[in-house]
């Protein structure tokens, strides 16, 4: 629904990039945490473990980022003013795309899609930026996102037949019977 | 004078209680949009209250860190009205679902619009009673056959909340989709800032009892026109749209909010008795 499709090309300074990265990583970390909580509450422990692992990874990422931002005055962006084309941050999984029957494989694929989107955002920033320090930092962030994608690709390779099955519901809602 | 810098984040408005909604439920998105909006408004949590009735969506007060009141079914608006009149300094939001707001609390809804107290009413409309496992609600289409209570549908035309809200005097009307929490936050910010009674309808799918609503995200489109302050024009737009024009404010009125003046009281029983003496 966002009307501007900028993909980060308007990010031209280090404070702008850091403000975007901070929001992107914060949102992603919180969303992975929310999804892990949702799945734990519904006793989908295997899927919850994937999201929890990613929440921890994002928090580590965030800690490093916070250190980088320590002495930088960051510009304020309202949530709707960030220069990415997605509604929420590119790494933030849309809540509407999960369900209580999500399989492990589907969860990994969903996370992989969003980790790649985050990488692409930083790649686009690096491609459009003019300042060398912005380009270098955006490339560094893109590489860090690729590490998460690498881990998820390994998870995907390890997925067995059971991991691809939708979780069964022994007591489905009447309207789904 | 000391300057207080208030730098709130959405997370500051969330409580430690974990939501128990179904994964994929639109209500998660509304919770995220409300907390984002409060952070953007930089409202200290102790200056905000969220009031609700009963239903899945009415659980929101428990999941937030502001003052909350999880009330009786359909009675969120009278409670919120009383709170706002007694404590006009508080920002009062009301949250609930279509059944709570338009059926059990239907009359309160119309009169809250009419009174135009400065409240923001966010209705998560999923066209079903989800908490009681999927019965037709006032906004359900007449031919929905998903409940054994209404095997051939209700056969009754659905309630049109925005049209009725407009006709009853709501001062701000918008429709948003749970598929876009950032736009929703932006609209909630405007709703809170606009004086008087603000009505925000959220198309919020029930993924469990109305799984077919998952396609709403593909149906919704950004409304092509900006808001009007002309109620007749807003009514024509609402009567001719298909319910999927979202993302923008539809109507902003200029009616002054209801703010009754109270005489200062000493608080003594004798004085109170003298006021109510016939």
Q: How far is B159 from chain A (nearest CA, A)?
A: 22
Residues of chain B whose C-beta is under 8 A from some C-beta in A?
Answer: 9, 11, 18-26, 28-29, 32, 36, 40, 133-134, 146-148, 177-183, 185-186, 205, 207-211, 214, 217, 220, 222, 246-247
Taking residues A17-44, report their average pLDDT. 96
Residues A152 and A115 sit within 8 Å (Cβ to Cβ): yes
**Per-residue confidence (pLDDT) for residue A7, from 0 to 100:** 61
Q: Ranked by mean pLDDT, which of A163-167, B136-140, B270-274 comes out on top?
A: B136-140
Q: Say if strands B245-246 and B248-252 run parallel, antiparallel, or are unpaired.
A: unpaired
Question: Does the beta-carbon distance from B25 to A80 stay under 8 Å?
Answer: no
How does pLDDT run across A121-130, given as a tens digit for each residue?
A: 999 999 999 9
- What's A141's DSSP letter? H
Domain annotation for chain B: domains and CATH numbers: 20-276 (3.40.50.970)
pLDDT tens, position by position, A7-26 = 667 899 999 999 999 999 99
- How far apart are the C-alpha atoms of A27 and A36, rounded to whole Å? 14
Residues 6+ apart with CB under 8 A from A81: none
Give me the residue from B11, B36, B146 closest to A175, CB to CB. B146
Q: Are the C-beta atoms of B53 and B94 separated by less than 8 Å?
A: no
**CA pair distance B139, A122, nearest whole angstrom:** 44
The answer, yes or no, to whether residue B255 has pLDDT greater than 70, is yes
Chain A: give the shortest CA distance to residue B36, in Å.
7
More confident residue, B158 or B273: B158
Sheet holding B91-97, edge to edge: B67-70, B48-52, B91-97, B120-125, B198-203, B172-177, B248-252
Can you tell me the ipTM of this complex? 0.91
Q: What is the pLDDT of residue B217?
A: 92
Report helix, strand or coil for B237: helix
Q: Which positions in chain A touch B181 (Cβ < 8 Å)?
A: 87-88
Q: Domains along chain A?
A: 14-163 (1.20.1260.10)
CB B28 within 8 A of CB A99: no
Q: Which among A38, A99, A175 has the least Cβ separation from residue B147?
A: A175
pLDDT tens profile A88-130 = 999 999 999 999 889 999 999 999 999 999 999 999 999 999 9
Read off the pTM: 0.93
The pLDDT confidence band at residue B7, using thresholds 50, 70 and 90, is: confident
Chain-chain contact of B186 with A34 (C-beta, under 8 angstroms): no
Using DSSP's 3-state secondary structure scheme, residue B121 falls into: strand
């Amino acid at each position: 629904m966002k009307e501007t499709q900028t993909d980060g090309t308007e990010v031209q300074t280090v404070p702008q990039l850091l403000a975007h990265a901070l929001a992107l990583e914060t949102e992603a970390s919180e969303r992975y945490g929310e999804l892990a909580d949702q799945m734990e509450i519904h006793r989908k422990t295997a899927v919850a473990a994937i999201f929890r692992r990613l929440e921890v990874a994002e928090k580590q990422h965030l800690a490093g980022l916070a250190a980088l931002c320590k002495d930088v005055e960051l510009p304020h962006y309202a949530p709707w003013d960030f220069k990415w084309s997605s509604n929420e941050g590119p790494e933030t999984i849309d809540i509407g795309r999960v369900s209580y029957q999500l399989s492990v494989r589907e969860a990994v694929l969903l996370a992989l899609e969003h980790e790649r989107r985050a990488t692409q955002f930083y790649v686009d920033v690096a491609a459009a930026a003019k300042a060398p320090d912005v380009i270098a930092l955006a490339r560094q962030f893109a590489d860090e996102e690729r590490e998460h994608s690498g881990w998820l690709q390994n998870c995907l390779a390890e997925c067995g037949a059971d991991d691809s099955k939708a979780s069964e519901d022994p007591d489905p809602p009447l309207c789904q019977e | 004078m000391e300057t207080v810098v208030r730098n709130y984040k959405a997370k500051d408005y969330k409580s430690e209680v974990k939501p128990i909604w179904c994964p994929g439920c639109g209500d998660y998105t509304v919770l995220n949009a409300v907390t984002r909006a409060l952070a953007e408004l930089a409202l200290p949590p102790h200056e905000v209250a969220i009031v609700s009735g009963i239903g899945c969506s009415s659980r929101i007060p428990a999941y937030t860190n502001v003052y909350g009141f999880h009330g009786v079914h359909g009675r969120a608006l009278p409670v919120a009205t009383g709170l706002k009149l007694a404590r006009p300094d508080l920002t009062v939001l009301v949250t609930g679902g279509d059944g709570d707001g338009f059926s059990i609390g239907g009359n309160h809804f119309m009169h809250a619009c009419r009174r135009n107290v400065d409240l923001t009413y966010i209705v998560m409309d999923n066209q079903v009673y989800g908490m009681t496992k999927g019965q037709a609600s006032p906004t359900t289409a007449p031919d929905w056959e998903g409940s054994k209570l209404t095997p051939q549908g209700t056969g009754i035309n659905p309630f049109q909340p925005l049209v009725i809200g407009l006709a009853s005097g709501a001062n701000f009307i918008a429709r948003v989709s749970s598929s876009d929490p950032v736009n929703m936050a932006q609209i909630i910010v405007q709703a809170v800032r606009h004086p008087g009674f603000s009505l925000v309808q959220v198309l919020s799918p029930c993924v469990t009892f109305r799984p077919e609503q998952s396609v709403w995200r593909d149906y919704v489109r950004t409304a092509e026109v900006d808001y009007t302050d002309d109620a007749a024009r807003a009514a024509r737009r609402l009567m001719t749209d298909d319910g999927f024009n979202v993302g923008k404010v539809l109507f902003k009125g200029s009616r002054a909010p209801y703010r009754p003046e109270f005489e200062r009281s000493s608080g003594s029983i004798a004085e109170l008795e003298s006021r109510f003496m016939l």
